């Protein structure tokens, strides 16, 4: 039942990009009960709550982040993305999501975590950016079919050139190995930052990358105000 439960939640799961262990679903327990019933399982809401806890799904709290904008075609775009994903996966073509993670300062700064050592690690008493010796920018790809990630670390700026260079590296090191017969690549991403949906420079750099790889690349941007 666990696998069927996870299959039901697969298209209805979201998470925290800064902490991969935190994820949630917008399906209500009664809706999950109904979906499990279709698969032949007669369970109560309490069982569903137990499964949610077992697989580390968390509840959400109210937050003060209502934006002053919106988009009339928000749901239509998400439905289009869902259909695109399925079409690509059915055809054996890769689907990846692309995002830049939190920039980290380099230097003698405090970090969460612990390790075995003879003496405590000494760090600065204040984490001022001016004390940094540099920064590292993690640019990540997530392969939806293979459930694997790929990270490229940059030490300069989050630019479209960096994003496309990272994509090139993913393809030659991972993509072409696991998808040797791929005819097209679908990339899911938000519409801001280095992969902006509005700026021509990203489209130009992406076209250069597609030409270099000899591969059709399709971008599906998430609607505004949703990331």
DSSP letters spanning 15-62: EETTEEEEEEE---HHHHHHHHHHTT----HHHHHHHHHHTTB-----
| Band (225; pLDDT cuts 50, 70, 90) | low
Which domains does the chain carry?
Answer: 2-54 (no CATH), 74-221 (3.30.420)
pLDDT of residue 88: 95
Per-residue pLDDT tens over the stretch 71-107? 666 788 888 889 999 999 999 999 999 988 778 888 8
pLDDT of residue 168: 96
Q: Which of 152, 163, 177, 174 is nearest to 208 (CA)?
A: 163
Give the DSSP H/E element, type plus range, for residue 99. strand 95-100
Per-residue pLDDT tens over the stretch 46-58? 998 999 888 888 8
Q: How many CB atoms lie within 10 A of CB 89?
A: 14
Stretch 133-137: mean pLDDT, rounded? 84
Pairing between strand 184-189 and 95-100? parallel
Q: Which stretch, 121-125, 160-164, 206-210, 220-224, has highest mean pLDDT? A: 206-210
Looking at the chain, the whole-number percentage of residues with pLDDT higher than 90 is: 33
Distance spanning both ends of the chain, measured CA to CA: 32
Enter the DSSP assignment of 191: S
The phi, psi pair for 136, rounded to 5°, reads -125, 135
* Model-wide pTM > 0.75: no
What is the number of H-type helices and E-type strands within the chain?
Answer: 7, 8
Stretch 22-41: mean pLDDT, rounded? 88
Q: Which stretch, 8-12, 29-33, 99-103, 179-183, has highest mean pLDDT? A: 179-183
Three-state SS for 4? helix
């Amino acid at each position: 039942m666990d696998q069927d439960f996870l299959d039901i939640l697969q298209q209805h799961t979201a998470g925290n990009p800064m902490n991969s262990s935190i994820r949630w679903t917008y399906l209500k327990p009664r809706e999950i009960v109904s979906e499990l019933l279709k698969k032949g399982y007669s369970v109560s809401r309490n069982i569903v709550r137990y499964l949610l806890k077992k697989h580390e799904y968390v509840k959400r709290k109210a937050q003060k982040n209502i934006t002053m904008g919106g988009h009339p075609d928000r749901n239509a775009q998400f439905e289009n993305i869902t259909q695109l994903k399925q079409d690509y996966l059915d055809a054996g073509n890769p689907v990846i999501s692309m995002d830049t993670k939190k920039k980290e300062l380099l230097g003698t700064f405090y970090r969460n975590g612990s390790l075995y050592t003879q003496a405590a690690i000494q760090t600065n008493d204040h984490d001022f950016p001016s004390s940094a010796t540099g920064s590292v920018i993690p640019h990540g790809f997530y392969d939806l079919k293979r459930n694997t990630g790929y990270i490229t670390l940059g030490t300069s700026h989050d630019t479209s050139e960096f994003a496309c260079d990272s994509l090139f590296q993913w393809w030659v090191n991972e993509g072409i190995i696991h998808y040797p017969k791929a005819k097209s690549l679908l990339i899911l991403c938000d519409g801001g930052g280095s992969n902006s949906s509005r700026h021509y420079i990203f489209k130009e750099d992406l076209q250069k990358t597609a030409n270099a790889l000899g591969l059709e690349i399709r971008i599906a941007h998430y609607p505004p105000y949703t990331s």
